[in-house]
Amino acid sequence: MGCGADEVVAALRAAAVVVAEHREELVRLDRAIGDGDHGENLHRGFSAVVSKLDGSAPATPGAVLKLAATTLISTVGGAAGPLYGTAFLRAATAVGDAPELDAALVAGALRAALEGVVARGKAVVGDKTMVDALTPAVTAAEDVAEGGVDVAAVLAAAAGAAEEGARSTEPLVARKGRASYLGERSAGHLDPGAWSTSLLLRSFAGGAR
Partner 1 sequence: MIGLVVVSHSRRLAEGVAELAGQMAPDVRIAPSGGDGSGGLGTDYAAVAEAISRADSGGGVVVLYDLGSARMVAEMAAEEAGTPVVVADAPLVEGAVAAAVAAQGGASADEVAAAARAAYHAGATPAFAAPDTDPLAGAAGDAEVPAPSTEDAVRSDVVLTNDVGLHARPAALVARALAGLDARVLVRYGEQEADAASVLALMGLGAPGGARVEVVATGPDAAEAVRRVSALAARNFDE
Q: Using only C-alpha atoms, what is the Rg of the chain?
A: 16
CB closer to partner 1, 29 vs 83: 83
By CB under 8 A, is residue 7 in contact with partner 1? no
- Answer yes or no whether residue 206 interacts with partner 1 by CB under 8 A: no
Local structure of residue 53 (DSSP, 8 states): H
- Give the interface segment with partner 1, choosing from 50-58, 76-84, 103-111, 164-172 (CB under 8 A): 76-84
Residue 209 DSSP code? -
Q: Nearer Cβ to partner 1, position 13 or 31? A: 31
Contacts of 93 (CB under 8 A, 6+ apart): 62, 112
Total residues interacting with partner 1, rule: CB under 8 A:
18
Q: How far apart are CA 176 and CA 142, in angstroms?
A: 27
State the minimum distance, in angstroms, from the CB of residue 9 to partner 1: 23
Judge contact between 101 and 2, C-beta under 8 A.
yes
Q: Is 121 in the site for partner 1 (CB under 8 A)?
A: yes
Say whether residue 86 binds partner 1 (CB under 8 A).
yes
The residue range among 8-16, 98-106, 164-172, 176-184 that interacts with partner 1, by the rule CB under 8 A, is 176-184
Among the residues of the chain, which ranges form H helices? 5-21, 23-33, 38-55, 61-75, 80-95, 103-121, 131-146, 151-167, 192-207
By CB under 8 A, name the binding residues for partner 1: 35, 37, 41, 73-74, 77-79, 81-83, 85-86, 120-121, 176-178
